[in-house]
Structure 1
């Protein structure tokens, strides 16, 4: 009942039921049912903005599920903890947990859970895209959005197979949002058209999502009168469900639509509402943190320090962004080759593992070696050699798709991962890269300098695994070098 109320958009009613269920099973020492109840309780807490309490409940649910040795409930608890990290904007951890939850559901043959958790995994990928958009990097946003669409499409097919209209609508509404983020309003409109045709009764929460997503897409298309109409409807429904996040964003887009229409007074009113909601959310979170801090102090017998909590919380808040930036820098340093600004071997291994775990995903690997690189170092110095490697890294980044990966494999060797590509297409791309590198004016770096590369390719699925594909690409690379260098050799047959 608690979870049904969550689906209906009534988390305040559901939370009491979930708490009673958790207490009931705890009193009977039934770890599996208690884990399930606590997982739902955590999800409802999160829906109401109590993220710190949600983390504690989700962690407890996960511990109980492990003790109960119940894989299905473990998948639920793992997913909820992933959603908590997603809402806390710790996306790497969220991605890991949501993917694990999906795997666990698939392991026990629960296609409904698999579908639902996959929807959340798509949302986490989309969050990466939205962060890139917020920072103004439209190109970097496209890859995560495409990944989100791919995952959500798989969930959509499961939803249809399960005859689950609730999940169907979620998938279509989410993909409409992702396509809008990429600027593909045509595909977004197609998703929303399908959404409107899904059979079965839609609930207030679902209609709220539909009108908000449609309004957002209409703003992107420049159809402002229709956008205003749908955003107003979304706001009306969000007021009924108490969904502050939808109210916040719907007012934001409504303000933009009014402004584009030249209705500046209405735009100002919508923006004021947006601003008030943002302040309300911030105040609630600050109040909640202060309350939790007091609880923690009591536990540690440090009540005498509670008076200074407000000041300390302000100091923590002021330094939080600095810590986030530092964490991002450290993460990048751990995954990026400093000379070429390409992925390093550690990052490459993570990417290749994802292909190993998804055997149906087509990809092609290309191993690249700089011809006579030792001669370049000996003739022009190692400083020039480093400049050559850095410039090749720049050319690779510039001339591959945003969905592909370029990595420094070691020394003067590079590896390209062509995602969702056929061997012939990847071969053509490598031939263009070979010509770009050969025809580049290397005299700008050092007079008399000439650079060429040899490239070997292998089809990932034909090889059987990404690591076997590396071996095949490496063999083809050495064939290219043996045949005279400065050429592209793909696997045959």
Structure 2
């Protein structure tokens, strides 16, 4: 069985045949993604990347980076997946290549999530969601919703919202007939239900834990059925390890044993080292549940003996398993030693996570800076050439390119949602379409109450964090057809596609309560945030200025009436 070491690319070829080789490697990497043979796909993507040495091969280089990041993720090489993924994202145009950008940001979000970087995972998942909405591909939207759902539970512990996002992802995937995307959404639903069940066990709520475990098993069984239909080796192996773990939680040890045997066979066949190590952990848990404490301890010690080959998360889980074994066996000295070891490991893990986050930030800044410098130099050279040649037609073309670059800046850098420029483009277009499509459009102005006092009392850093959290809460609770934009300062504008005004008001009320009920103490112990909503309902075309003015006046009325409330335009 091969190990998950860094891929060794071929030496770039200098012959004319290199173009054909590049196309073949990219095709092989794409096919391996579909079949789940990620050890083959990783090597093919690395070979393709090594052949992309010419400036005109930037498109192929971007695709090779996207594929390599995905295959590394599936093989458990998480840090490398983040590194290649962020390099790919930095090289992709925000609008013209929004689809590829959404794809690779989904990979980065998943890798961050598996490394325990929940907030980073949510950040990249929401960026992926924005890019998928720009691209308009329903399958990409499914994957972005999937990653946002998983990260929402990891970062915020919000099971209800996580389930909602993952169910939307599964519905999108079913509508386009993509079994791999459907499998992933069902699997992540099961993973979150199981994690929530384990939390309830720790809290001493066995009945609630049992209910959540049964929900998890239902999702895992549906995922397994899909994996068998698609005959994807990685999906099959994943489904078996998930079933083994949930059967163990439910006490069905015979079913768990069968699933573990199948998981081991598939992991060896597909070179899925990460899944194989998960299988070994699950086997130890099964031995523990069946009362074979010494055999379980030996299995965990054997796993830890792999040393540097073992990922940090596996090391932590193995020591946690030993702690529980020794505690249940009454070997309290050994249990205490495992707790002390866990504390040392968690410090190392925190350092590794900080290092990965720091690298990611530096890489984004480095690549973005290089791109801006190169583009600035290119445009300066172009202007000089045009000035010397006095070719007005070419100057107009350069100006058009400058305008195009300006149009790409449609998103607010602080919150990640659309900005006022995007709103000014989209608002009039959507209002003009009214009457030709069913339903209507709500223009909603949202203003954070007493925001100046937040900045004055707690500082602008807390104010900025509050704005980012509000943007996240609104984005996660609106649909892909809606537009969320930061209008300026503490004000947001929403364009909500609804059939009737009552649906709009219900949606805004959910958003108001989500903001009011959020645990703002996590941002600052004394912080509490509420928002006022001004709503203008449109069923026929009208000017953007009229609609925005009406929503703004409704907001003023909501403020006068006591804040933290909704106000529909035209009503008192």
> Where on the TM-score scale, by shorter chain, does this alignment land: which range?
0.5 to 0.7
Residue 243 (structure 1) aligned with residue 328 (structure 2)? no
Provide closer, same or farther for how the CA distance between residues 243 and 26 of structure 1 changes in structure 2, counting only shifts above 3 A: same
What is the TM-score with the length of structure 2 in the denominator? 0.52
Report the counterpart of residue 354 of structure 1 in structure 2. 472
> Paired residue for 2:152, among 125, 139, 142?
125
Q: Distance in 2 between matches of 1:489 and 1:190?
A: 40
Matches within 5 A, 1:327-338: none
Q: Cα distance, 1:192 vs. partner? A: 2.8
> Paired residue for 2:215, among 174, 180, 187?
187
Report the counterpart of residue 241 of structure 2 in structure 1. 212
Report if the CA contact (8 A) 1:209-1:234 is conserved: yes
Provide closer, same or farther for how the CA distance between residues 191 and 365 of structure 1 changes in structure 2, counting only shifts above 3 A: closer
Provide closer, same or farther for how the CA distance between residues 276 and 242 of structure 1 changes in structure 2, counting only shifts above 3 A: farther
Provide closer, same or farther for how the CA distance between residues 27 and 266 of structure 1 changes in structure 2, counting only shifts above 3 A: same
> Paired residue for 1:364, among 479, 484, 509?
509
Q: Cα distance, 1:243 vs. partner? A: 2.4
Residue 271 (structure 1) aligned with residue 300 (structure 2)? yes
Provide closer, same or farther for how the CA distance between residues 319 and 4 of structure 1 changes in structure 2, counting only shifts above 3 A: same
5+ long unaligned stretches in structure 2: 1-27, 198-211, 315-343, 358-453, 480-505, 539-546
Matches within 5 A, 1:328-477: 345-357=463-475, 358-360=477-479, 362=507, 364=509, 404-407=517-520, 414-415=528-529, 474-477=559-562
SS at the partner of 1:222?
coil
Report if the CA contact (8 A) 1:458-1:472 is conserved: no
> Paired residue for 2:173, among 159, 176, 199?
159
Q: Cα distance, 1:354 vs. partner? A: 2.9
Report the counterpart of residue 188 of structure 2 in structure 1. 174
CA RMSD of aligned residues (A): 4.8
Report the counterpart of residue 497 of structure 2 in structure 1. none
Q: Cα distance, 1:108 vs. partner? A: 1.8
Q: Distance in 1 between matches of 2:534 and 2:220?
A: 37
Q: Cα distance, 1:54 vs. partner? A: 4.0
5+ long unaligned stretches in structure 1: 130-140, 286-314, 329-335, 368-399, 418-456, 479-487
Report the counterpart of residue 106 of structure 1 in structure 2. 133
Report if the CA contact (8 A) 2:263-2:279 is conserved: yes
Aligned residue pair count: 361
Report if the CA contact (8 A) 2:534-2:555 is conserved: no
Q: Distance in 2 between matches of 1:274 and 1:473?
A: 61
Comparing 85-94 with 178-187, greater Cα deviation is found at: 85-94
Provide closer, same or farther for how the CA distance between residues 118 and 274 of structure 1 changes in structure 2, counting only shifts above 3 A: farther
Q: Cα distance, 1:158 vs. partner? A: 0.9
What is the TM-score with the length of structure 1 in the denominator? 0.59
